[in-house]
Amino acid sequence: MIYAGIDWATRAHEVAVVDTRGERIARRAVSNSGAGLAELVDWLIGLAGEAGQVQVAIEVPHGAVVETLLERGIAVFACNPKQLDRFRDRFSVPGAKDDSLDALVLANSLRTDCHAFRSIRMDDADTIILREWSRMADELSAERTRLTNRLIEQLRRFFPQALSLTDDCGRAWFLDLMEAVPTPAKAATVRARVVAAILKRHRIRKHSADSVLKALRVQSVQVAAGTTEAACAHIALLTQRLRLVSEQWTGARKRIEELLTPQGHVEPTDAEVLRSMPGLGVLICGTLLGEAGALLAQRDYRALRALAGIAPVTRRSGKSRRVVMRKACHGRLRRAIYHWARVAAQCDPHWKSRYAEYRARGHSHGRACRGLGDRLLKVALAMLENRTLYDRSKFTMELQTA
Domain closes at, from 256, 288, 309 = 256
Domain closes at, from 101, 119, 137 = 119
In a domain, residue 264? The reply is no
CATH of residue 66: 3.30.420.10
pLDDT in the model for residue 96: 74
Task: Looking at the structure, tell me whether residues 86 and 170 fall in a common domain.
Answer: no
In a domain, residue 275? The reply is yes
CA distance linking residue 385 with residue 299, whole number of Å = 7
Task: Looking at the structure, tell me whether residues 230 and 186 fall in a common domain.
Answer: yes
Task: Looking at the structure, tell me whether residues 139 and 229 fall in a common domain.
Answer: yes
Task: Looking at the structure, tell me whether residues 299 and 348 fall in a common domain.
Answer: yes
Q: Which amino acid is at 319?
A: K
In a domain, residue 262? The reply is no
CA-to-CA dists, residue 279 to 107, 138, 181, 257, 341, angstroms: 44, 18, 38, 16, 7
- Among 346, 347, 350, smallest CA distance to 400 is for 350
CA-to-CA dists, residue 334 to 112, 245, 292, 331, angstroms: 32, 25, 11, 5
Task: Looking at the structure, tell me whether residues 249 and 328 fall in a common domain.
Answer: no
Task: Looking at the structure, tell me whether residues 96 and 133 fall in a common domain.
Answer: no
CA distance linking residue 243 with residue 189, whole number of Å = 26
pTM of the model: 0.85
Which 8-state DSSP code applies to residue 163? G
Q: Which amino acid is at 230?
A: A
Structural domains of the chain, count: 3
Domain closes at, from 100, 119, 138 = 119
**Please, are residues 220 and 161 in contact by the beta-carbon 8 Å criterion?**
yes
CA torsion, ordered 146, 152, 157, 159, to nearest 10 deg: 160
Which 8-state DSSP code applies to residue 167? S
In a domain, residue 73? The reply is yes
pLDDT, tens digit, 9 for 90 and up, residues 276-327: 999 999 999 999 999 999 899 999 999 999 999 999 999 998 889 998 999 8
pLDDT in the model for residue 97: 79
In a domain, residue 193? The reply is yes
pLDDT, tens digit, 9 for 90 and up, residues 104-159: 999 999 999 998 898 988 888 889 999 999 999 999 999 999 999 999 999 999 99
Task: Looking at the structure, tell me whether residues 284 and 377 fall in a common domain.
Answer: yes
Q: Which amino acid is at 323?
A: V
In a domain, residue 265? The reply is no
Task: Looking at the structure, tell me whether residues 362 and 313 fall in a common domain.
Answer: yes
CATH of residue 160: 1.10.287
Task: Looking at the structure, tell me whether residues 88 and 174 fall in a common domain.
Answer: no
**Please, are residues 62 and 44 in contact by the beta-carbon 8 Å criterion?**
no
Alpha helix stretches (DSSP H) within 299-364: 301-307, 331-347, 349-360
pLDDT in the model for residue 89: 86
Domain housing 353: 270-401
pLDDT averaged over 10-residue windows placed end to end, the chain, 402 residues = 91 93 92 92 93 93 90 92 86 80 92 90 89 96 97 95 94 96 94 95 94 93 92 96 96 95 80 93 94 91 93 90 90 95 94 94 94 94 92 64 46
Task: Looking at the structure, tell me whether residues 181 and 76 fall in a common domain.
Answer: no
In a domain, residue 49? The reply is yes
In a domain, residue 58? The reply is yes
Which residues are CB-neighbours of 282 under 8 A, at least 6 positions away? 253, 256, 257, 260, 275
Task: Looking at the structure, tell me whether residues 229 and 280 fall in a common domain.
Answer: no
- Among 134, 156, 152, 154, smallest CA distance to 144 is for 152
pLDDT in the model for residue 328: 85
Task: Looking at the structure, tell me whether residues 240 and 134 fall in a common domain.
Answer: yes
